[in-house]
Chains A and B, each alone.
Chain A
Amino acid sequence: MSILVGKDTRLVVQGITGRQGAFHAEQMIEYGTQVVAGVTPGKGGEWAVGNTPVFDTVNEAVEATGANTSIIFVPAFAAPDAVIEAADAGIDLIICLTEHIPALDMVKVRAYLDVVGARLIGPNCPGVITPGEAKVGIMAGHIHTPGHVGIVSRSGTLTYEVVYALTARGIGQSTAVGIGGDPIIGTTFIDVLQMFEDDSATEQVVMIGEIGGTDEQKAAEFIAKNMSKPVTAFIAGQTAPPGRRMGHAGAIVSGGEGTAEEKMQVLAEAGARVAKVPDEIADIVAENQ
């Protein structure tokens, strides 16, 4: 077992004929992901990346191929529509990589998804990978290895960093989930922590947070109450000056709420082991084994 994506994933790629969509669809197929369809309005009936059929709408793609998961590679102005279209077509799991979607658009999208009951990962995230089974995202597949450490992170490249260090020590991962760096996201730390707690293939969890917002504090509360599996945490942005935007729209420290120090402290109090630098994460995970 694993969480979110795996051997049963039947993936539709929204935006498959774009530069990024085509490149990464190919990479995902190479990794072994079942990419069953692509969607690009106006290009229905064509074929993309080898022998993947392209449809005009997600609905047609689902009906023809039984797709159950979608990954979205469309520009910010069209991405909210793409998410809602996937949800309306009955897709259960929607993974949106698009950056710079206006926050108020996401407020509406998220409220709608709550009504129809679809799960969104992202936006502004690298996707989800279950090593050896399926890669639904833009992460470099070869750095991952199958195993029992679940990873949940707000940051893409920092996750690769941690995975790389774990793989180098021969420690494999059950699933790595990038939840995204935006202020309004579909799936939070708590949601993924619960999934890892319930997953028989996951023995321990690494959680990578950032400055800004209070999701890590909520995760700390959850860890204290609900997690029986060990959690190792890292918070990026310890040296960030307050009030300055550090790339991710969500990473704004304001009014003493959401600093790295504060987050590290509450996580430690909740029973997580907190790494000071990324390299320490793999050390702690190895000790937990």
Chain B
Amino acid sequence: MNLHEYQSKRIFAQYGIPIPKGEVATTPAEARSVAEKLGGAVVVKSQVLVGGRGKAGGIKLAKNPDEAQARAADILGMNIKGLTVEKVLVDEASNIASEIYLGAVLDRSRRRVVLMASGEGGVEIEEVARTAPDKIITVAVHPFLGLRDYQARILAEGIGLPKEHTSAFIKVAKALYQAFVEQDAGLAEINPLVITGENQLIALDGKMVIDDSALSRHPDLAEMADKSTEDASEQEAKAEGLSYIKLDGEIGCMVNGAGLAMATMDIVKYYGGSPANFLDIGGGASAQKVTAALRIILSDPHVKAVLINIFGGITRCDEVAKGFLEAINTLKVDMPFVIRLVGTNEKEGRAILEEADLQNILTATSLADAAQKAVQAAATQSGKGASA
């Protein structure tokens, strides 16, 4: 789960990392009153969960409350990479002497939290990694030891930080690591971490990604989720415990297991079709879950045919078959379905489907066969749509 800048910075502040004074506003008038309270120049920053806000015109300087109101009016409602700006953060403007990058990320191959620093602040770290990888200094943290002072010092010296800032930098780095671990982050970035004209370190911008698997033990963070970046059907799927991602094709896919779901999408494309979604019904899917999955797939008007590919391990094929018939009965659809059930209780599953004797159901044995039948069914259906 991605956190907004203001949410991330508030968490950083809880751990003692200095951040600019500021507040969130949802109307231009609110932005004005925040600017009045802060006094002096402010920065009005759009709060949307995409990179490149500055380039898109979503971050503006304002010299006084009048300007803050005008800039907030420009930015609120703006569309940045498909997302509408609903909130702005009004921060006091900082006197920037220099900018650096400091981030923490879970490195899966080293199996450690890694802290990264670079002298190139304000630039995306992926960009620095591409153009000047030697400018990124990293240290890996052992989970039993935590970030040690010497490691933070290696970062500070590696990026050529002036010595007078070393002890402040160590504090910030240790606080960032602590925030990362205690909040179950997958990524925590301060970019830029600025040295002000007053010789202080301040986290000017912040970003945190929280591990979805850990949200149950962070109810406060779970509440912060910005649902506006998710499609309505994706939200419904989440509530049903399904993993669903909407794509723009016309063959709805219902598969058990993430790997097989991806491979099913790949093979649909291989045979000339295009998948409408990724959907993993997970292990031990009940009839109720299957019904919900089909309802979500069919809510996409572009879907012309549905491919159901279930390989039974933990999931039992008879449960899937029952769930499928239940769904067909409640949803009353005459769309073509291609169903392939293999594995645990496959005979019982197939028997249930055969007894139902439905016209619009095709069965398949191999994955290639299933994909080809689905692609063909979707094409036929499109043809009908065009001639009708």
* A140–B344 CB distance below 8 A: yes
User: Which of B108, B181, B217, B280 counts the most chain A CB atoms within 10 A?
Assistant: B108
* B267–A158 CB distance below 8 A: no
* A248–B278 CB distance below 8 A: no
Nearest-Cβ distance from residue B262 to partner chain A, whole angstroms: 4
User: Which of A20, A107, A218, A245 counts the most chain B CB atoms within 10 A?
Assistant: A107
* A157–B262 CB distance below 8 A: no
How many A-B residue pairs lie within 8 Å, measured between CB atoms?
179
Does B164 lie at the interface of the complex (its beta carbon under 8 Å from any beta carbon of A)? no
* A103–B258 CB distance below 8 A: no
Nearest-Cβ distance from residue B271 to partner chain A, whole angstroms: 9
Does A213 lie at the interface of the complex (its beta carbon under 8 Å from any beta carbon of B)? yes
Q: Which of A111, A143, A240 contacts B265 (CB 8 A)?
A: A240
B interface, over-half SS:
mixed
In the complex formed, the residue of A with least CB distance to B343 is: A140
* A-side interface size class: 35 or more
Once A246-B245, A246-B262 are accepted as A-B contacts, the answer to whether A156 and B257 lie under 8 Å apart by CB is yes
* A161–B367 CB distance below 8 A: yes
Q: Which of A77, A158, A184, A279 contacts B111 (CB 8 A)?
A: A184
* A157–B181 CB distance below 8 A: no
The B-contacting residues of A in range 197-233, CB under 8 angstroms, are: 208, 210-211, 213-215, 218
* A110–B311 CB distance below 8 A: no
* A250–B108 CB distance below 8 A: yes
Q: Which of B109, B113, B260, B270 contacts A158 (CB 8 A)?
A: B260
* A247–B109 CB distance below 8 A: no
* B313–A157 CB distance below 8 A: yes
The B-contacting residues of A in range 112-138, CB under 8 angstroms, are: 126, 138
* A102–B284 CB distance below 8 A: no
Does B256 lie at the interface of the complex (its beta carbon under 8 Å from any beta carbon of A)? yes
In the complex formed, the residue of A with least CB distance to B185 is: A104
Q: Which of B113, B126, B214, B261 contacts A247 (CB 8 A)?
A: B261
Give the CA-CA distance A77 to B213 in the complex, in Å.
10
* B258–A251 CB distance below 8 A: yes
Hey, which chain A residues are within 8 Å of B130, CB to CB? Answer: 255-256
Nearest-Cβ distance from residue A242 to partner chain B, whole angstroms: 12
Contact with A along B293-324 (1 / 0, CB 8 A): 00000000000000000011110000000000
| Complex A-B: 12 CB contacts under 8 Å | A100-B212, A138-B313, A140-B312, A140-B344, A157-B257, A164-B311, A183-B108, A210-B262, A246-B258, A247-B262, A249-B213, A279-B368
Nearest-Cβ distance from residue B259 to partner chain A, whole angstroms: 2
